[in-house]
Amino acid sequence: MRLNCPCCGPRGLEEFTYRGDATVRRPESPTAPAQDWVDYVYLRDNPAGPHRELWYHGAGCRSWLVVTRDTRTHAISDVVRAVDVARADKEGAGS
Amino acid sequence: MPEVLHPRDAVSPVPLTAHGVTLRAGAMRESVSLAAFRGQADTLRAFVGKEFDVDLPDTPRSVENADGITFIWAGPNQWLLRAAPGTDLLTRLSPCAAFAALTAQGDSRTALELRGPGARAIAAKLVPVDLHPRAFAAGDVALTLAGHIAVILRQVDDTPCYEFLVFRSLAQSLHHELHTAMLGGIPQADRIS
């Protein structure tokens, strides 16, 4: 499996570390209902199909990446820097 | 009487040659890493552009200015600067401290140079990136693994010559790996006619 790092170009799996689901979001408030925290900390979807997940390019540019991978075929449809996703999220929330 | 500490070479200073490829320890250079604080990359670029008359690369490349200082891309908004001893890079860079992290790396990185017509074939045994001249040319940089060792790989010129910047504590291992790869010879598929 190869990931096309937006900074470094296509690289082998051995340069990356898998972190997990990129769609979970920390509850805004520390006083959010316990169920929200349980969802955030423990509960994950297990989709058969496209999945957004976090990978770390530790042996390369040391960027966190959001990878869209089809869990049935391992086809990678998109790789973007997580910092860009976070920035877009923030701008989306602000508007 | 206390024992006197002597500086030791990271690897043997004697160049090794096999199959027309030479492996040697690179000359000692001053190294400083430069990482822009959040949102300050443009300020840093402007300062470096003015002070050193060079454009910091945004892609995995290195550039050299008229004073022979090398500016190596080392990740998004991060660079490694290398210069001849006595340049006093840290002093020249000190105004950057307001908008970038400056770290002296002279003790951290060792340079190993692989030079010769077959150097590409030997480097390709250890490095998982495409080194074909169409994909990787003089001045290009890759942050990657050589064997299992993290390196900053740079093509110095078209001989070809490759420079492996490796953490000092792993220099001996990489030196051994490269030498073993050299002794294995140039693979038939890579023979230059």
| Token pair recorded at residue A8 | 């470094």
What pLDDT, on a 0 to 100 scale, did the predictor assign at position A57? 97
User: pLDDT value at position B192?
Assistant: 58
Give the model's pLDDT for residue A85. Answer: 93
Task: Tell me the β-bridge partners of A11.
Answer: A3
pLDDT at B43: 96
Is the pLDDT confidence value at A84 over 60? Answer: yes
In this prediction, residue A42 carries a pLDDT of: 95
Q: What CATH number is given to the structural domain containing B78?
A: 3.30.70.1520
Residue B131 to residue B154: CA distance in whole angstroms: 10
Mean local confidence (pLDDT), B12-22: 95
- Give the bridge partners for B104, in sequence order: B32
pLDDT tens-digit readout, B49-62: 999 999 999 999 99
Residues on chain A touching B143 (C-beta within 8 angstroms): 8, 59-62
Q: Is residue B2 part of a domain?
A: no
- Note the pLDDT tens digit of each residue in A4-58: 999 999 999 999 999 999 999 999 999 999 999 999 999 999 999 999 999 999 9
Q: To the nearest 10°, the Cα dihedral for B142, B145, B149, B152?
A: 0
Nearest CA to CA, how far is A23 from chain B (Å)?
A: 24
User: What's the confidence (pLDDT) of residue A82?
Assistant: 96
Task: Say if the Cβ atoms of B143 and A9 lie within 8 Å.
Answer: no
Least confident of B4-8, B123-127, B181-185: B4-8
More confident residue, B190 or B81: B81
- The pLDDT of residue B193 is above 60: no
CA-based nearest residue in chain A for residue B142: A8
On whether both B97 and B113 belong to a single domain, the answer is: no
- Quick one: what percent of chain B has pLDDT higher than 90? 89
Looking at the 3D structure of chain B, how many domains does it have? 2
Q: How many CB atoms lie within 10 A of CB A17?
A: 12
Domain finish residue from B39, B69, B104: B104
Where does residue B57 rank: exposed (0-12), middle (13-18), buried (19+ CB within 10 A)? middle
Cβ-based contacts of B60 with chain A (< 8 Å)? 7-9, 61
Q: Which residue, among B1, B5, B96, B87, has the nearest Cα to B45 in the 3D structure? A: B96
Q: Which of A60, A62, A81 sits opposite B144 (nearest CB)?
A: A60
Q: B-chain residues within 8 Å CB-CB of A15?
A: 128, 144-145
Strand duo A17-21 + B78-83: pairing: unpaired
* B28 confidence band (pLDDT: 50, 70, 90): confident
B179: left (phi over 0), alpha (psi -120 to 50) or beta: alpha
In 3-state terms, chain A is what percent helix, strand and coil (to 5)? 25, 35, 40
String of DSSP letters for B26-50: PPP-EEEEEEEPTT-HHHHHHHHHH
**B34 occurs within a structural domain:** yes
Establish if B5 belongs to a structural domain. no
Neighbours of B116 (CB within 10 A): 20
Across the range A66-89, mean pLDDT stands at 94
* Whether the predicted pLDDT of B119 surpasses 80: yes
Enumerate the residues of chain A whose CB falls inside 8 A of the CB of residue B142.
8
Per-residue pLDDT band at A95 (split at 50, 70, 90): low
How many A×B Cβ pairs under 8 Å? 33
Burial class (CB in 10 A: 0-12, 13-18, 19+), B114: buried
Among B104, B129, B157, the domain-final residue is B104
**Range A57-63 average pLDDT:** 95
**pTM metric for this prediction:** 0.91
> Is it the case that residue B123 has pLDDT exceeding 80?
yes
Domain assignment of residue B12, yes or no? no
Q: Which two tokens stand for residue A80?
A: 């973007």
Domains of chain A, CATH where assigned:
2-94 (3.30.2270.10)
Query: Are B62 and B97 members of one domain?
Result: yes
Predicted local confidence at residue B116, as pLDDT: 96
Q: Which pLDDT does position B4 carry in this prediction?
A: 82
Q: In terms of residue numbers, what domain contains B184?
A: 18-27+107-190
> 3-state class of B103 per DSSP?
strand
Does pLDDT of B82 surpass 60?
yes
Q: Mean pLDDT across the stretch B76-88?
A: 95
**In the structure, what pLDDT confidence band is assigned to residue A61 with cuts at 50, 70 and 90?**
very high
Cβ-nearest to B60 among A8, A12, A59: A8
Instruction: Work out the mean pLDDT of chain B and round it to a whole number.
Output: 94
- The answer on pLDDT for A94 being more than 80 is no
Cβ–Cβ contacts within 10 Å for residue B190, how many? Answer: 13
